[in-house]
Structure 1
């Protein structure tokens, strides 16, 4: 079986979070979604579990932090083309995200911009030249 990763995030507004992650390219998995959580699959191996604060509290006794005030993680998601970075950023911004909470980076062989979801989590949307990613091209 392919290894999978699930990013579990507490959210204040489940519907707003679902709209953002749909725009990011996610598809809701209804089998693991209910009135307190949404499973948004970004690929066959990458899932984002969006949970209301009360549901998230079922998994931890720790205080839920506010990602709009403190950084807990920087998450990155690749897209298939250089143009896809801007296209994806436009979609998530239209769905309630905030564009470029961190500075854009363009290194020629790699481009990244960021989007903040409605709860303050930052996603880098990035493209890397496939030749560089495969180790065949020069870096920089």
Structure 2
């Protein structure tokens, strides 16, 4: 079995956040979703657990960061091409996400970024496969 990652994100409006991620083309897994949580399947190995803030709070003694004013983390996923990175970032912006930073273009590496409705920061990165294996700069 491969390693899986479950990214737990506190959200203010579960329906709005679920709709946003479904708008990106991801599916909600109803078996692990209820009034407190939506399980969003990004890939076979990556899942977003969108948790309403009071429920998220049951997992931590720390204060929940307001992602609209503070950065808690930058979540980055890969894209198969520059065009795929652009397509996902554009879809995020048209589905209720907001602008984060200008595109990053290093030639062999390209990235776009956005914020989800709660302000969580996302980057979509493409890297030339040859550069990823060290075959070229």
Pairwise TM-score range, normalised by the shorter structure: over 0.9
What RMSD, in angstroms, separates the aligned Cα atoms of the two structures? 1.3
C-alpha distance in structure 1 between counterparts of 2:75 and 2:25, whole Å: 15
Structure 1 residues 120 and 14, CA gap change in structure 2 (3 angstroms): same
Compute the displacement of 1:24 (Å). 3.5
Runs of at least 4 residues of structure 1 off by over 3 A?
none
Q: Give the count of matched residue pairs.
A: 137
Q: Which residue of 2 aligns with 1:121?
A: 120
Q: Which residue of 1 aligns with 2:77?
A: 77
Q: Which runs of 5+ in 1 are unaligned?
A: none
Deviation digits for residues 20-61 of structure 1 (CA, Å, limit 9, x no counterpart): 222334221111111110011111111110000111122112
Compute the displacement of 1:116 (Å). 0.2
Q: Which runs of 5+ in 2 are unaligned?
A: none
TM-score, normalised relative to structure 2: 0.93
TM-score, normalised relative to structure 1: 0.91
Deviation digits for residues 78-119 of structure 1 (CA, Å, limit 9, x no counterpart): 1111111111111111110012x1232100111101010011
